[in-house]
Structure 1
Amino acid sequence: MVVRNRGTFLLLLVAFCYGVTMAMGLREEKDQARWRSQREEMINKRKKESKSGSGRTGENWFLLRDYKSIVETDAGAVRVVRTRGDSKNRPMHIGFVTMEPNTLFIPQYLDSSLILFLHRGQARLGYICNDELTERQLGDGDVYRIPAGSAFYLENTGEGSRLEIISSIDASDSFGMGLFQSFFIGGGTYPTSVLSGFEPQTLTTSFNVSMDEIRKIMSKTRRGPFVHVNEKSPSTWTKFLKQKQGDRLQHLKRIVETHREDEISQVQEQPKFSWRRLLGSMLGQKINLKTDNNKCPQAYNLYSKNPDFSNNYGSSIALERSDYSPLRHAGIGVYLVNLTAGAMMAPHVNPVATEYGIVLRGTGRIQIVHPNGTSAMNAKVRQGDVFWIPRYFAFCQIASNSGPFEFFGFTTSAHRNRPQFLVGANSLLHTLNGPELAASLGVSEERVKRVLDAQHESVILPAPAETRSEEKEKKKMMEKLAKLMNAGFAKF
């Protein structure tokens, strides 16, 4: 009787366990079906938003195409791309300055600090630093910072060539009057000088000249902030550029002396570069005139920096505060990446900063992934396109097979970025490799190791094998064609 009861009990126990297992299996299937349904719904939603451009998650959200023309004349132009980000990121926009040959961007100061990258051309930059007029000759690849509130001018010195500059615009100190605000020291009817707002008696007293002289000086500039430097019929600004450096400072000094300190007290900057300090010095202290101020920073040439990483498939350069001290004050980093045809910057994450990029050359694709594992963007980009990558989002850049892909940009931190690569020989998956990773993937450790060890390259990865073989075949065909053509020409 006892044996029979024990057998019945075991049978009931087995039946109960089977029932529980089936119930758990059905529940798991329901959960998986619900998860798949939610995922498909989210993917479809992302696709709709991407096509329509609406919402915060479509491809248009990560490709920045909201260009605003600030100035556009026959001598030069300024365009600004509004950037996006969250409340944790400081406001920063991307500016593009183009100047025709023999032109001057007249003296002004901004309520925002700038980091200039000279993409193409030659320029002379003059600005006030440590109570002195400092001039720097800039060329291709040079990086330079102009603090907010520092008066400056810019001249295109390239012989017959256009000047092209890309800049970050840190609007954290701006008055909230738009993207940024220019305060023109020079000017006339267009642009209007900040001097124009003072009463006539204030100006005549300040300059110690008649009102008629003031009108003659302040009414000639009518074609915008970019003026042609014409040798045959020299303008006021042509004569200004021909003056000795000390005389140019005195010229700016006479203009600055008309400003009252309470009119510009809102412009804030580090004490070393303060407009308030500059004004006080000019009004009450003796000014030391030097041909060059060694205390002011030199430009940093990005092209001359040794790559932080380089292999047969491309190179990557990062400029941070330990490399260039002005970035310490700006809190902004700079980077430059070159990829060969078909190469890929391996999928990675920026744990420190948000990244803004500008395509300088070639075409490629930018892929960005949402935290939930869905695609945020998979878009083709070309020269001139601007994109941004939010901090912590996984992403990669892929060059097209047609040629090299080069892009430059800014990051919202001057500290070392330390990107975390998700794929490649140096990926964090290698660091995490163990039974825990295998368990999370639901496969054996041997299989995980086999997959991770298949990629021997790191950071910048080669094009797929089939693409490389296609390129080799193309190269061979072109070589054969060239030989045939040469042989044909030889007969003639």
Structure 2
Amino acid sequence: MEMSKCFSLVLFFSLVLSFGLLCSAADNPWGRSEAERDPWRRYKECKRRCQLDTRGEREQGECEDRCERHFSREQEEKGRWRRHDSNPEDPQRRFEECQEWCQQQGERQQPQCQQECRREFQEQQPQSQRQLQECQQRCQQEEQRPEKKQQCVRQCRQQFEQQPNKREEEEEEEWEGRRQSHNPYYFPRGRFAQARFREDNGNFWVLQKFSQKHHLLKGINEYRIALIEANPNTFVLPHHCDAEKIYVVTKGRGTLTFLTHKKKESFNLVPGVVIRVPAGSTVYLVNQDNNEKLTIAVLHRPVNNPGQFEEFFPAGKENPQSYYRPFSREILEAVFNTRSEQLDRLFHGRQRQSQQGMFRRASQEQIRSLSQGATTPKEKEEDFAFNLLAQKPKFSNQNGKFFEACPREFELLQDMDTAVAGFEINQGSIFVPHYNSKSTFVVLVTEGNGYVEMVCPHLSRQSSQGEEEEEEEEEEEETRSGEYKRVRVRLSAGDVFIVPAGHPVTYVASKNKQLRFIAFGLYNQNNTRIFIAGENNMVKQMDSAAKELAFGVPSKLVDEIFSNNPQESYFVSRQRQHRGSEESRGRPVGSILDFARLF
């Protein structure tokens, strides 16, 4: 009996202690696993987790506030200095405040306090900078002659200042990639894509449904993006889809053939060729090149289930399977007037390894045969195809080019209600900020690297509690207006970025590489592209009184800022010099949000 009472008391106190620890862990976003680490590092990791694991700016701000409260509390408990309004990520400012706090201590405590400030300041420096300081200290201690000390210090500086810490850069890039993976508009290459066929001779990737990434994209959920990659001298098996399709060649050369109920169409493929394939048409293609991969972006608009399509193969046995095989022998013998032995050989026989998969190696003779009679699409629409990049650019100058084919100009795009666009932004240049009145653009990076900046309303938190709560959150968001968030993403080949209608956006090429895209403009009928910078920007058309009332400054100043060189109306160089005083010359064009201080 006594043993039972003792056991009950132990169990009771254990539960109380466990409950207290759980409550503490729930309130502390750092978690117990970080308890032994340095408080400042824990503070930075806490803020990173807030950016990675929270949805919406308001929730992220609340999480970061909790991080700061815990950080301040720990500093107070340890009797150290306490930061006030300074930036906690500015080590120099924190070091100065720490020194000021030490001066308020007694004479005995000051040396130890200042030593602790220096130690913490050094720990917050990048690894390369800490190594530089240690190297210089060794020079002072080990070298006796002044000229030798100076030479040693110079060697340290050359060694560590000119070689940035690659490990820290890699960690920062990894963290940036994890953070951007939560961006509802960004689909990095290799993520969020399903490999329906991944083989030695090629791949067929399908981007996940847009609404699976975020409910903000459910308006375009009936469309799907896919990518076909065929290795040199590779044949892609005949198939049809329950979807309307637009093919855009981004790399390589080959031949595509499709069969309608009336005739056969065959086209030579080069970068920029656009082919419209009606739903149900059987398609096959071949890569003619001996060295280069053939890459094609495909936009699908399913006809059965929005956002969901299937491929159907007439030929194949196991991988893929022929759609003839599920039919009964009785039916197949009757419709083909053929013995079952012959049918078994065609549809049920053993398949060699080289005859498996969606992608098959082809001989030079077979490739020549498949390419005979194919036409080469030109800039004008011909039946089902045209070459986008052979057209005259809609916008161009020495900094870039923009090509576009719209449904109102190309009849073959009308059923899909989709435009096709191509960008070529020269290195170190910007496609000036603009927005689309009705169309949402799905942008695929085909070459180079750079970044995109987009302005959008505060992102709603993605609810995991069901549709009713999600609708309540959307209604709450609708009550707020006039608040925006900058979405900035680094882009490289294979990445996909979504630009909703009405959202101002700009694209920037890196300083050492040209940046190229192809893009699909969804729901493009009667869409208008409206520029908010450059020679033809919207603000220049405002009345003078409207400019003064809206911006709160004289209209002359507004006109001066929004005027531009006509030769750089649509593409500008990041090194373009401002008009005005000599002090401003040579400054690169800043963020598209830099002019926000006018508002």
Same fold (TM over 0.5): yes
Q: What displacement does 1:101 show?
A: 2.3
How far off is 1:94 after superposition? 1.6
| 1:419 aligned partner, one-letter code | R
Question: Is contact 1:73–1:223 with CA below 8 Å preserved after alignment?
Answer: no
2:553 & 2:327 partners in 1: Cα distance? 77
The alignment's TM-score, normalised by the length of structure 2, stands at 0.57
Alignment CA distance shift 1:220-1:364 (3 Å):
same
For each residue in 1:364-423, what CA deviation from the matched residue of structure 2 results, as whole angstroms up to 9, or x when unmatched? 111111244432411111111110111111111111212221111101134353211112
Contact 2:400 2:425 in 1 (8 A): yes
The reply to whether residue 91 of structure 1 matches residue 222 of structure 2 is yes
Pair 1:400–1:179, CA change in 2 (3 A):
same
Residue identity matched to 2:413: L
User: How far is 1:206 from its partner?
Assistant: 1.7
Q: Which residue of the partner structure matches residue 181 of structure 1? A: 310
Q: 1:43 to 1:366 in 2, by over 3 A?
A: farther
Match of 1:139 among 267, 270, 276: 270
Question: Structure 2 CA distance, aligned partners of 1:86 and 1:160?
Answer: 38
Paired position in structure 1 for 2:331: 202
Aligned to 2:186: 63
Whole-Å Cα distance in 1 between the matches of residues 529 and 209 of structure 2? 22
Alignment of 1:284-323 (within 5 A): 297-323=383-409
The answer to whether the 8 Å contact 2:209/2:221 transfers is no
Work out whether 1:153 is the aligned partner of 2:288: no
The aligned counterpart of 1:485 is none
Partner of 2:503: 393
Is residue 2:594 matched to residue 1:461? no
The equivalent of 1:285 in structure 2 is: none
Query: Do the aligned residues in 1 keep the contact of 2:255 with 2:370 (CA within 8 Å)?
Result: no
Identity percentage over the alignment? 21
**Residue 438 (structure 2) aligned to one of 352, 361, 378:** 352
Letter in 2 for 1:73: E
Alignment of 1:264-343 (within 5 A): 297-343=383-429
When residues 167 and 188 of structure 1 are mapped into structure 2, their CA distance, relative to the original with a 3 A threshold, is same
Give the TM-score of the pair, scaled to structure 1. Answer: 0.69
* Structure 1 match to 2:537: 427
Count of matched residue positions in the alignment of Structure 1 and Structure 2: 377
The 1-side partners of 2:573 and 2:527 are apart by: 23
d(CA) in 1 for partners of 2:486, 2:333: 61
Checking the alignment, whether the CA contact within 8 Å between 1:321 and 1:415 is kept in structure 2 is yes
| Greater length-normalized contact order (CA 8 Å, ≥ 6 residues apart) | 1
1:403 matched to which residue of 2?
Answer: 513
2:446 touches 2:518 (CA, 8 Å); kept in 1?
yes
CA shift in 2, pair 1:432/1:43, >3 Å:
farther
For 1:164, which of 269, 287, 295 is the aligned residue? 295
Q: Quote how far apart the aligned CAs of 1:159 are.
A: 3.4
Name the SS of the counterpart of 1:61 in structure 2. coil
**Would you say the 8 A contact 1:77–1:98 is kept in 2?**
yes
For residue 166 of structure 1, report the CA deviation from its aligned partner: 1.1
Q: Distance in 1 between matches of 2:511 and 2:374?
A: 50
The reply to whether residue 123 of structure 1 matches residue 246 of structure 2 is no
Return closer, same or farther for 1:165/1:291 CA change in 2, 3 Å cut-off. Answer: closer
Unaligned runs of 5+ in 2: 1-55, 66-174, 211-215, 458-481, 579-584, 589-599
Question: Residues 139 and 451 of structure 1: is their aligned pair in 2 closer, same or farther, counting only changes over 3 Å?
Answer: closer
Alignment of 1:415-454 (within 5 A): 415=525, 417-453=527-563
1:115 is displaced (CA, Å) by 0.7
How far did 1:75 drift? 1.7
Residue aligned with 2:498, SS:
strand
Partner of residue 523 from structure 2, selected from 403, 413, 419:
413
For 2:485, give the aligned amino acid. Answer: S
Letter in 1 for 2:558: V
> Are 2:198 and 1:72 aligned?
yes
Query: Whole-Å Cα distance in 2 between the matches of residues 404 and 118 of structure 1?
Result: 18
> How much does 1:461 deviate?
2.0
**Take 1:298 and 1:51, find their aligned partners in 2: how far apart are those partners?**
42
CA contact (8 A) 1:341 1:404 kept: yes
Q: Distance in 1 between matches of 2:178 and 2:230?
A: 33
Query: Residues 86 and 62 (structure 1 numbering): CA distance in 2 closer, same or farther, change over 3 Å?
Result: closer
* One-letter amino acid of the counterpart of residue 345, structure 2: K
Superposition CA RMSD, Å? 3.5
- d(CA) in 2 for partners of 1:148, 1:459: 37
Distance 1:383 1:449 in 2: 38
Distance 1:42 1:424 in 2: 37
Are 1:365 and 2:476 counterparts? no
One-letter identity of the residue aligned with 1:354: T
The SS at the match of 2:489 is: strand
- Match among 335, 340, 343 for residue 211 of structure 1: 340
> Cα distance 1:154–1:47, how it changes in 2: closer, same or farther (>3 A)?
farther
Q: Which is richer in helix?
A: 2
> Which residue in 2 is equivalent to 1:229?
362
Give the 3 Å change call, closer, same or farther, for CA 96–449 of structure 1 in structure 2.
Answer: same
Spell out, residue by residue over 1:34-83, the C-alpha distance to the aligned partner (whole angstroms, 9 max, x if none).
xxxxx9858847999x97979xx986211114111110111211011125
Uncovered stretches (5+) of structure 1, i.e. residues with no partner: 1-38, 233-237, 246-289, 472-492
State whether residues 181 and 187 of structure 2, in contact with CA within 8 Å, keep that contact through their aligned partners in structure 1.
no
TM-fit CA distance, 1:153: 1.4
Q: Using the TM superposition, give the Cα deviation of residue 136 of structure 1 relative to its aligned residue in structure 2, in angstroms.
A: 2.1
CA pair 42-447 structure 1, distance change in 2 beyond 3 A: farther
Q: Is the 8 A contact 1:47 1:58 kept in 2?
A: no
- Between stretches 94-103 and 347-356, larger displacement belongs to 94-103
- The separation in 2 between residues aligned to 1:47 and 1:393, in whole angstroms, is 28
Distance 1:416 1:384 in 2: 29
2:535 partner SS: coil
After superposition, give the CA deviation of every residue in 1:157-178 in whole Å (9 maximum; x if it has no partner): 223432111111223x1346x7
What amino acid does structure 2 have at the position aligned with 1:115?
A: I
Q: Which residue number corresponds to residue 18 of structure 1?
A: none
Structure 1 residue 327: Cα displacement:
0.5
Does the 8 Å CA contact 1:130/1:296 hold for their aligned counterparts?
no
- Deviations along 1:272-311, one digit per CA (max 9) or x if unpaired, are xxxxxxxxxxxxxxxxxx999x998152111211101111
